[in-house]
Structure 1
Amino acid sequence: MSETPVDPGMLTFYKALSAQSPPESAQWPLPRQRKAWDDVCRQFRAPRPERLIVEDLDANGVPVRVFRPPGNDPKPGVIYGHGGGWVVGSPETHDDMCAEIADQADVVVVLMDYRLAPEHPYPAQLEDSLAVLEWMRSSGRAMGIDPTHIIGAGDSAGGQMTVGLALALREKGLPQLRGMMLIYPVLGADTETSSYLRNANAPCLTRDEMIFYLDAFLGPRGGAPWHDPKAVPNIATDLSGLPPASITVAAHDPLCDDGLIFHEKMKAAGIPVALRREPALAHSYMRARHVSAPAMAGFKAIVEATRSLAHEGRLPG
C-alpha cells in the first residue's frame, strides 16, 4: 500500500457500498452483477445540479445520456467512457459524476452506454466510441456542442477507451480529440506491476477482479487484442499525434502504475501531459467525493483539467 493510509471517509463510504456489491460479485452471473452495481450506485448517487438539461438519446445506434448546462452558445463537448471493467456500469452508475463535471466545467458531457464485454469484447467499445464521436461532430450543434472543441474522458476502463479512440483517430487520419482526461485509467494488461502486487486486495478494486475484467474485454490470452495498442495503450511504441492528457492515479489502486507508465511514455513523445497522484485514495475515488475531503479535492482537479482542456486546449497551470 501507500505510505499514506486510505482516507477514512472514502474507506467508510466504500465499506457501505461493497456491503451490497462485494468483490466476489465478479463471480456472480452477469445480469446479477450488472443489476447489483446499477442498484448500489443509484442508491449512493448525489442529486444532479438543477440547472442541467439531461436527455437520453441515440447517437448513431449507441445510447447516450447528454448533460448540458443552459445557454445558447455552443459549449465544448466531452465524450465520456464509464468505468466498470468494460463488463458492468451504465449511465445509471455515472450519472451524478458526469452531471457535476458538465455543470462545474461548463461542458456538454456525452456519457456512452457502450456495449459490454464479454458478450461484446474489443473492439466493440472502440466502434461505439467512433460512432458517438462522429455523431457529436455531425449533429452535436443541436445539443449545444461545439464540434471543434471535443475532448475524451473516462475513468478506469473509460480511460483505455479514451486513449484507444485517440489512437484510432490518428490511424484513420481523422481530426484528433482536443485533449484527454484519464481518471485512474486501465492502460496496460500487465498484472504483475508493483501497484498490482502492492494493492492486490485494495478497497474498490482487487487484482483478481481486474484480471477477470481484462480477460472478458480482450478474450483468450495471447489473442490479437492483447497485442493491439488501441486495446492496450501501454504497449504502444509511437504516441506521436496524440492530444494533451491529464492523468490522475490513486496510490491504493492496482492500476496506479498503468497511469504512471503512460505518463512517462507521453513525456518521452514530447506531448503535453500532467500527472496527479492521490496518496490517500483508492480506485473509483470520484464516487466518494461528497464524504471524503481528499476525494473532493481530486474531483475538483479533474473538473479543472477538463475545463482547461475543453475550453482552451491546454493543461491547467
Structure 2
Amino acid sequence: MKSFRAVKTFRERVDPELLPGLAFSEEHPPPISLAELAGFRAHAEAPAAAVVDPAVQIRDCAAGRVALRVFTPSGPGPHPAVYWIHGGGMIAGSAELDTAYCAELSARVGAVVVAVDYRLAPEHPYPVPLDDALAGLRWLFAAAGDLNVDPRRIAVAGSSAGGGLAAGLALLNRDQDRLPVAFLYLMYPMLDPTHSSASAREFSSIPTWNRAHSEFAWGCYLGGTEEVPPYAAPALAGDVAGLPPVLIQTAELDLFRDEDIAFAAKLMQAGVPTELHVYPGAYHGFELNCPDSLVGAQSLLDRNRALTRALHGSSVSAFTTPAKGTCS
C-alpha cells in the first residue's frame, strides 16, 4: 500500500532563517486596489537592516524630467557602472527607498550605481516607466566621462518589477538604441502578465507577493494596452537573441519562479550566456528582509560575483564579500 505525505503549507516550506521576514509582508501587504495603493505608498519604507555605506558618495542628477541618484565608490576610476531599476510592481517603490541597497551594491561591486526614479503606474502606465528607464540609460552613457565611468562596462539591473523593466529595456535597446550594455542582472523579475505558469497558480494566496497583487499591478501598468508588446512583458518575446550575458536569480516559493526559469531557458536556447539561480526555501524579497540569513547572504554574494566577473573581468575580488545585516 502506498503511503502519502501531507503537502506542506507555504510557511512550512520556508527556510526557518527567513520566517522572521514574513512578518513584514503580513503587516504591510501589497495592494489589490487603488485605495490600498495610496496607503501602501504612504507607509513604504526601506528594510530595517538597511544602512548606507559612508564610503560611497551620493548625489542626485536628472535626465530631463527623470530623476536619477548616483552612487560613486571610493578609489580611482574609470569605474564600471550598474544602472539600477527599483522594484515595486511598477506601482510603488523609489530610488530613495533603494538608497542603502544601491550604496551597498556600489561598494561591494566597485561600480558607480545609477538608480532611476521612473514614473509609476497607474498614473503613468506603459510605456512611460520604460521610456523613463531608457532616458536614464541614455543619460548614463552620455555622461560617462563626467561620472568617471567606463562606457564599455555598464550593466543594466533590477529586481522584481525593476527586473522586468530591465529585461524590457534590454530588448528595446537591442532593437533601437544599441547602446553597448555589457551585462544584465535580473532578481526575481516580473515578466509575464498572463499568470499561466505553475508557480503563478500555486502561489495565488501566499502572504508575500501573490497572484491578486500581481494581477492588480499588471492591470495598472498595462492600462488599456490591447496588444501587449514584449518590451512591456518580456516573457512574451519570441526573439531574445542578441541580449547581453544575464544573471537571473529567483526563489523556490516565488510567484515569478517558473516564468523566470522559462525566460532563462529561452535565453540559453537563443545562445545568450545565462546564469540561473533558484534559492530553496526562499520567497519574494527574502534577501532584503533577511540579508544575514545563509540563503540571503548567498544570493547577494552570487550577485556580487557575477557583476564583478562581468565588469571587472574576475570572478573573485575584494568587492564580493557579502554585507551583514539582520532580519527586519
Residue 35 of structure 1: aligned partner: 42
Which stretch of the first structure deviates more once superposed, 133-142 or 243-252?
Answer: 133-142
Of 19, 30, 39, which aligns to 1:11?
A: 19
Q: Deviations over 1:41-74 (max 9, x none)?
A: 26x1521122111112213331111111012311
Of 140, 143, 149, which aligns to 1:139?
A: 143
CA distance in 1 between counterparts of 2:80 and 2:277 reads 23
Residue 162 of structure 2: aligned partner: 158
Q: Secondary structure at the match of 2:152?
A: strand
Contact 2:186 2:247 in 1 (8 A): yes
Q: State the AA in 2 paired with 1:279.
A: P
Report the count of equivalent residues: 309
Alignment of 1:49-64 (within 5 A): 49-64=53-68
Instruction: Say if 1:64 and 1:299 are closer, same or farther in 2 by CA, change over 3 A.
Output: same
CA distance in 1 between counterparts of 2:84 and 2:112 reads 10
Q: Secondary structure at the match of 1:175?
A: coil
Q: State the AA in 2 paired with 1:112.
A: V
Q: Secondary structure at the match of 1:151?
A: strand
CA distance in 2 between counterparts of 1:99 and 1:28 reads 33
Instruction: Say if 1:4 and 1:153 are closer, same or farther in 2 by CA, change over 3 A.
Output: farther
Q: Secondary structure at the match of 1:117?
A: coil
Structure 1: gaps (5+ residues): none
Residue 223 of structure 1: aligned partner: 226
Q: Deviations over 1:66-113 (max 9, x none)?
A: 111012311111111101000000123222222111110111111111
CA distance in 2 between counterparts of 1:129 and 1:23 reads 23
**Pair 1:252 & 2:253 matched:** yes
Contact 1:202 1:252 in 2 (8 A): no
Instruction: Say if 1:85 and 1:120 are closer, same or farther in 2 by CA, change over 3 A.
Output: same
Shift of 1:240: 1.6
Shift of 1:2: 7.6
CA distance in 1 between counterparts of 2:122 and 2:315 reads 36
CA distance in 1 between counterparts of 2:126 and 2:136 reads 16
Name the TM-score, length of structure 1 as normaliser.
Answer: 0.90
Q: State the AA in 2 paired with 1:115.
A: R
Shift of 1:188: 1.3
More helix per residue = 1
Instruction: Say if 1:256 and 1:129 are closer, same or farther in 2 by CA, change over 3 A.
Output: same
**Pair 1:93 & 2:94 matched:** no
Shift of 1:4: 7.8
CA distance in 2 between counterparts of 1:207 and 1:5 reads 19
CA distance in 2 between counterparts of 1:140 and 1:105 reads 18
Q: Secondary structure at the match of 1:282?
A: coil
CA distance in 1 between counterparts of 2:275 and 2:33 reads 33
Contact 1:69 1:107 in 2 (8 A): yes
Of 193, 196, 210, which aligns to 1:189?
A: 193
Q: State the AA in 2 paired with 1:15.
A: A
Alignment of 1:58-73 (within 5 A): 58-73=62-77
Q: CA RMSD in A?
A: 2.3
Which stretch of the first structure deviates more once superposed, 306-315 or 9-18?
Answer: 306-315
Q: Deviations over 1:135-161 (max 9, x none)?
A: 111113222221221110000111111
Q: Secondary structure at the match of 1:266?
A: helix
Shift of 1:173: 4.7
Shift of 1:29: 4.7
Query: Identity rate of aligned residues, in percent?
Result: 32
Instruction: Say if 1:29 and 1:55 are closer, same or farther in 2 by CA, change over 3 A.
Output: same
CA distance in 1 between counterparts of 2:281 and 2:176 reads 40
Q: State the AA in 2 paired with 1:107.
A: A
Contact 1:204 1:282 in 2 (8 A): yes
Contact 2:22 2:208 in 1 (8 A): yes
* Larger radius of gyration between Structure 1 and Structure 2: 2
Q: Deviations over 1:94-135 (max 9, x none)?
A: 222221111101111111110000111111112111111111
Residue 82 of structure 1: aligned partner: 86
Residue 272 of structure 1: aligned partner: 273
**Pair 1:207 & 2:211 matched:** yes
Which stretch of the first structure deviates more once superposed, 191-200 or 10-19?
Answer: 10-19
Residue 284 of structure 1: aligned partner: 285
Q: State the AA in 2 paired with 1:34.
A: R
Q: Secondary structure at the match of 1:93?
A: coil
Name the TM-score, length of structure 2 as normaliser.
Answer: 0.87
Which stretch of the first structure deviates more once superposed, 1-10 or 187-196?
Answer: 1-10
